[in-house]
């Protein structure tokens, strides 16, 4: 079985959710894929002060994702600033064409940039099953933490949405491949492009296979990058080279 995935590498208008949604919808509709992955905080930009733009669970941006998934018959994923019970979360949604929605709250907040001042970290991993594949959801800075994302034979691919600044672009490129190799999984990482008040973003979105090989990689401009995941090839490699059987046991204290 194969599954096509589209990485929507786009710019983001600062704190303009309605305009960003209007611009992104045609791209989602046109993507020839089973899953469309959008960048971190694609509707607002990576704002450190979410009070003015955060929405409640199931708010307008989440509802747009649900409508797109149902109307265009493809799963859609990306992160949104959400307020719930007085706390702000950088929440990644994964919405299926059925309208069913799963979410993951970013665990590792980018403290060096100030994200941890106003957002609350999540406390659990999320794995979503869709069309025979199991996806671990990660958001940007999470990619730096291998213990959190360690595969325990519970997923086949990592979906990572990001707002990763250009000065650290080689770190982004390296970590995508490192997570793929050590977990013997596919990794799909989408990053935004353009500028916001504090950073410039270079893109470098990529789809990487379980051997760390680049299946598709974007440059610096806006584009939709597509590629295919093959569960048969993944299973055959894991059986032929079963490094996962020698992984160390551990547990995570939260």
Catalytic residue among 40, 74, 151, 185: 40
Domains and CATH numbers, the chain: 2-246 (3.60.110.10)
Q: Is 99 exposed, middle or buried (0-12, 13-18, 19+ CB in 10 A)?
A: exposed
Active site residue 40: yes
Active site residue 32: no
Catalytic residue among 140, 160, 161, 185: 140
The per-residue pLDDT for range 83-115, each reduced to its tens digit, is 999 999 999 999 999 999 999 999 999 999 999
Active site residue 140: yes
Tokens in use for 88? 């702000």
The per-residue pLDDT for range 210-237, each reduced to its tens digit, is 999 999 999 889 999 999 999 999 999 9
Catalytic residue among 8, 10, 74, 106: 106
Q: Is 55 exposed, middle or buried (0-12, 13-18, 19+ CB in 10 A)?
A: buried
Residue position matching structure tokens 């055959």:
236
Task: Over range 66-90, report the average pLDDT.
Answer: 98
Per-residue model confidence (pLDDT) at position 253: 78
**% pLDDT > 90, the chain:** 94
Residue 75 backbone phi and psi in degrees, to 5: -75, 145
pLDDT above 90: residue 238:
yes
């Amino acid at each position: 079985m194969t599954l096509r995935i589209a990485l929507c590498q786009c710019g983001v208008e600062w704190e303009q959710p309605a305009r960003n949604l209007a611009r992104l919808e045609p791209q989602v509709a046109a993507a020839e894929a089973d899953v469309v992955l959008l960048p971190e905080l694609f509707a607002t930009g990576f704002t450190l002060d979410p009070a003015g733009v955060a929405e409640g669970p199931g708010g307008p941006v989440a509802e747009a994702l649900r409508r797109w998934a149902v109307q265009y018959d493809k799963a859609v994923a990306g992160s949104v600033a959400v307020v719930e019970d007085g706390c702000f979360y950088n929440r990644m949604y994964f919405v299926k064409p059925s309208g069913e929605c799963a979410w993951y709250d970013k665990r590792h907040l980018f403290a060096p940039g100030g994200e941890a001042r106003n957002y609350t970290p999540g406390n659990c991993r999320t794995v979503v099953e869709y069309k025979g594949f199991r996806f671990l959801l990660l958001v940007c800075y999470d990619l730096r933490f291998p213990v959190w994302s360690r595969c325990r034979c519970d997923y086949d691919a990592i979906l990572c949405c990001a707002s990763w600044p250009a000065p650290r672009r080689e770190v982004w490129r390296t970590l995508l491949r490192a997570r793929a190799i050590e977990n013997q999984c596919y990794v799909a990482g989408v990053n935004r492009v353009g500028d916001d008040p504090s950073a410039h973003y270079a893109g470098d979105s990529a789809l990487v296979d379980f051997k760390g090989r680049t299946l598709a990689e974007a440059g610096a401009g806006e584009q939709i990058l597509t590629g295919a995941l093959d569960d048969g090839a993944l299973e055959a490699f894991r059986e032929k080279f079963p490094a996962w059987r020698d992984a160390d046991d551990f547990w995570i204290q939260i």
